[in-house]
Structure 1
Amino acid sequence: MSTASVATPARILPTIVFSQFAGTSLWFAGNAVLPELQSSLDLEEGALSLLTSAVQLGFIGGTLCFAFFSLADRVSPRLLFLTCAILGAIANLLVLPASSSISGILALRAITGFLLAGIYPVGMKIAASWYSGRLGKAIGYLVGALVLGTAFPHLLRSFGAVLPWQTLLVSISGLAALGGVLMYLLVPDGPFLSKGTRFELSNMLQVFRSRAFRAAAFGYFGHMWELYTLWAFVPLMLAYAYPQFSQEQVSFYAFLTIAAGALGCVGGGYLSQFWGSAKVAFLQLLLSGVCCLASVAVLQHPLALLPFLLFWGIVVAGDSPQFSALTAKTAPPYLVGTALTVVTSVGFAITIGSIQLTSYLLTQLPLPQVFLFLAPGPALGLMAVRPLLKK
């Protein structure tokens, strides 16, 4: 079936984008209510890295489990999306009665991460089933929706006393469940939906035999060393540079910083049609690496920090959809699903190491010096992706 012969209803892409945004708002829901959880449990600052890493670990386990059992190939992806969105919403709500137990909260955040594996990657598969020949731009919108969903809890948190933290969690859960319902009701299985290969260890090793695939994958790994660590610690940067800010102001500017990445994703998707994905990914990764180096100076000059963080937010996320496109293009055609799963899992495992290292360095070094240690990720990623610029 040719792409041209299929008329895609106008509602499909907006619904997928909104549902992706709604479902991924569960990602940083725990971070958004961290001050209240710290007060309830008498937690130290290290709780931020624990909460974030719990979600990442759950997501890694979820992607590997879903791929191993080929769930997205054996079950309708939109049904899987609906199920995970509703269960994720419930896991997020259960933080309310568990708010007096750190082990209970961490377990629920890990479960939420596990279920996000049935939202983010499955949303990409649903988009691919409708936009086979036009996936590049669609991926830009989808990852942009992920970025907005990640930032959204900070926006809700910025309302402060107007919106109690319990209401915040309920609102995020309701939004995630709504996204799942809309995806199921309004987005039928697409005409390009195909069955993938089963997940096997030999497939994991086989995809890395391609030099071009290794270039795309290691570029993505360098990008992931920086991305989620920056997102996790943006509120800390803002509180350090602007001690006069209220918690609501910190949350609002954290939202703007993270949400700015949606501009990089969508804009990069359009630019990739003219420059190619490799050049767009290389440029944005280069600029975000420069931001890592510049952070040591800018964090000591509050007047420059807000515009600097907005720019960093744009470029730190904007290369993500292009690395996804490069990974799909350079993987063996019959192993694209496995390749994306493996690369995503490894990338999120890397974020845990980066987040934990940053948390430790914050106890050893002045804050402005800490984010220099994010720079090796972009540097290694740039070295890895260079061969793809020649193609």
Structure 2
Amino acid sequence: MVVTAYSGVLPFMMADWHMTAAQAGSIQSAWHVGYMSSLFAVGLLADRYGPHRVFFIGSAISACSALAFAVFAHDHLSALLLYGLAGLCAGASYTPGLQLLARNAEPAVRGRAMGLFLGAASMGYALSLAVVAAFSHAQHWRLGLLVAAGCTFAGALLTVPALRRMRPPAPPAGKGTAREGTWHALAETVRDRPAMAGNWAYAFHCWELMALWAWLPAYLVASAGGAAPWQGAGIALAAFAHLVSVFGSIGGGAASDRFGRARIMMAASLMSLCMSFAFGWMWTWPLWLLAAMAAIYNLLAIADSSVYSTALADVVAPHRLGVAYSVRSVMGFGAGALSPWVFGLALDWGQTRFGLGSTYSWVAAWSSVGLGALLGPWMIVRFGRLERGRRGR
């Protein structure tokens, strides 16, 4: 609920605080820097103390940090720091969740299980944007952030019955053994060629996906003219695009169980790349048609997200899966931290060069998304070849 809350209020914050596009993008980037850092740490902690405990404690801390952002952010600097803190606290519900699913779902249905997990996340993103749109239009954008933060507390409470359904955690290793095992697992993961090829493909995927999530609401609002009656509608349409992506996560995960991980990753990657280079040219389209294309773009961009997680679980031994997810998270969300800021820089440049209302400024911004993800298909091919070679042995 807090991941997309900022992107829902981004147009209003830019107007109220007189921020440039680069400044606005830097706040979303701060989230991803914090999130990336926490994902690395909680992967190591989950291997040592068990994903059950880390998942529960992290969910509670994440809810508190979301509330702090909603209450205390009042300018660019405070929002940068507080949203970065929210990202730092939020990672504990992601990597341990993937580990729990990998442990509790059989390989034949693991892709669908992880697709449902990420599909639930997409539903939260959609609900968050819908809440922000409704309250920003009727009252004030800060009230929308407060409601979204309140929902994260409900999510933390729901972890209790969820964890009761899981298999009991394995007994934690001794301190010395855990420390030695962590560094050994980290070295093994870095030397694991199929795992690292998949991680690089995931990094290029995140560059594209994180920029899309950060800037889609602002793009739809700007395309509608930015007038007050259309601001809520633009954000609501972005929420609809996230809702459609639920089916992308579930469908992509289930398809990978049937047709193979690399094949689905490649198909989704190529189609979403085409959308990245085409989306900016749609700036002058009617809003309903642009929103429909945004939904398709979101669906394609997220269709392979769960597949990367499942593919890593397929090629990495369970005892170092948390470490492997940590390495992947640093790579993926490191790229995702940069892309919203680079998007903002490209947009500022385009608006200076071509004017505020020019299509070319948005073409430049969305093209930066596609350019950063171009090497993804090559890494997917490499992953597929290495993974087949490992199975052949």
TM range (shorter): 0.7 to 0.9
Q: Which residue of 2 aligns with 1:272?
A: 256
Shift of 1:92: 2.0
- Asked if structure 2 preserves the Cα contact closer than 8 Å seen for 1:269 and 1:322, the reply is yes
1:316 match: secondary structure: helix
- Asked if structure 1 preserves the Cα contact closer than 8 Å seen for 2:195 and 2:315, the reply is yes
2:247 match: secondary structure: helix
The correspondence of residues 293-312 of structure 1 with structure 2, limited to 5 A, is: 293-302=277-286, 304-312=289-297
Q: Which residue of 2 aligns with 1:145?
A: 120
**Residue-by-residue CA offset, 1:176-226 (whole Å, 9 max, x unaligned):** 111111211343263274468657455434323233223211211111110
Regions of 4+ moved over 6 Å:
none
**Residue-by-residue CA offset, 1:30-72 (whole Å, 9 max, x unaligned):** 332334544554433334212211111111221222234x2x2
**Percent identical residues:** 21
2:164 match: secondary structure: coil
Shift of 1:319: 0.5
- Asked if structure 1 preserves the Cα contact closer than 8 Å seen for 2:277 and 2:363, the reply is no
Distance between the aligned counterparts of 1:43 and 1:293, measured in 2?
Answer: 26
Q: Which residue of 2 aligns with 1:131?
A: 105
Gaps in structure 2 of 5+ consecutive residues: 351-360, 389-393
Q: Which residue of 2 aligns with 1:112?
A: 86
Of 107-116 and 84-93, more deviation after overlay is shown by 84-93
Shift of 1:348: 0.2
1:55 pairs with one of 31, 40, 43: 31
Shift of 1:94: 2.2
| Number of equivalences | 365
Shift of 1:350: 0.6
Shift of 1:384: 1.1
- Asked if structure 2 preserves the Cα contact closer than 8 Å seen for 1:156 and 1:163, the reply is no
Shift of 1:76: 5.3
Q: 1:275 to 1:174 in 2, by over 3 A?
A: same
User: Do residues 64 (structure 1) and 40 (structure 2) align?
Assistant: yes
Q: 1:361 to 1:45 in 2, by over 3 A?
A: closer
User: Do residues 315 (structure 1) and 291 (structure 2) align?
Assistant: no
Q: Which residue of 2 aligns with 1:19?
A: none
Shift of 1:318: 0.8
Q: 1:76 to 1:212 in 2, by over 3 A?
A: closer
Distance between the aligned counterparts of 1:35 and 1:296, measured in 2?
Answer: 18
- Asked if structure 2 preserves the Cα contact closer than 8 Å seen for 1:79 and 1:184, the reply is no
1:362 match: secondary structure: helix
Distance between the aligned counterparts of 1:338 and 1:75, measured in 2?
Answer: 13
2:20 pairs with one of 33, 39, 44: 44
The correspondence of residues 1-391 of structure 1 with structure 2, limited to 5 A, is: 25-38=1-14, 40-68=16-44, 70=45, 72-75=46-49, 77-133=51-107, 134-159=109-134, 160-162=136-138, 164-188=140-164, 190-191=166-167, 193-194=169-170, 198=179, 200-201=182-183, 203-243=185-225, 246-302=230-286, 304-365=289-350, 366-389=361-384, 391=388
Gaps in structure 1 of 5+ consecutive residues: 1-24
Shift of 1:121: 1.5
Matched to 1:149, the amino acid is G
Matched to 1:363, the amino acid is D
Question: With structure 2 as the length reference, what TM-score do the two structures score?
Answer: 0.84
Distance between the aligned counterparts of 2:21 and 2:196, measured in 1?
Answer: 37
